[in-house]
């Protein structure tokens, strides 16, 4: 797994656009070739503030409901994710990748999602 300067910069500095009045989209999460649950290349999650939201490409969760919460370097399922217990860490953020921890369906240590920096306009509620 290679380090990504763009991802590091994205997580440190929010978008400076004056148009932002509410939550800022920090990044777009793409499944990797190791993720059998989603088609490679489709954006499955949006990282907004401290939550991961499923996109329209992710048919396993209702669109716009937060499926995961980011707590430091760990990603926990939220109360909206009915498939997993809320207290179990499922992914770990490692150099621009969300890596399986062994609590989910994927083998431990496999990079499942890739973080790609993106600064997009404010999303309405």
Phi first, then psi: what are they for 13, rounded to 5°? Answer: -120, 125
- The per-residue pLDDT for range 26-70, each reduced to its tens digit, is 788 999 988 887 877 788 898 888 899 998 888 888 888 999 998
Give domain limits for the chain. 5-13+21-115
What pLDDT is attached to residue 56?
Answer: 84
**Confidence bin at 114 (pLDDT 50/70/90):** very high
- The per-residue pLDDT for range 62-112, each reduced to its tens digit, is 888 999 998 878 899 998 888 887 788 889 999 889 999 988 778 899 999
Q: CA-to-CA distance for 95 and 4, rounded, in angstroms?
A: 7
Residue 65 carries which DSSP code? Answer: S
Q: Which residues of 60-70 are buried (b: 16+ CB within 10 A; e: fewer)?
A: ebeeeebbbbb
Q: What is the pTM of this model?
A: 0.72
């Amino acid at each position: 797994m290679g380090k990504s300067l763009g991802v590091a910069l994205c997580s440190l500095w929010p978008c400076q656009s004056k148009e932002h009045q509410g939550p800022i989209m920090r990044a777009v999460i793409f499944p990797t070739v190791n993720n059998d649950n989603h088609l490679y290349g489709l954006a499955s999650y949006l990282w907004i503030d401290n939550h991961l939201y499923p996109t329209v490409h992710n048919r396993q969760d209702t669109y716009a409901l937060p499926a995961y919460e980011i707590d430091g370097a760990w990603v926990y399922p939220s109360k909206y994710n009915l498939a997993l217990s809320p207290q179990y860490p499922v992914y770990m953020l490692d150099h621009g990748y969300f890596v399986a921890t062994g609590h989910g369906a994927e083998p431990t240590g496999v990079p499942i999602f890739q973080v790609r920096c993106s600064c997009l306009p404010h999303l309405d509620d």
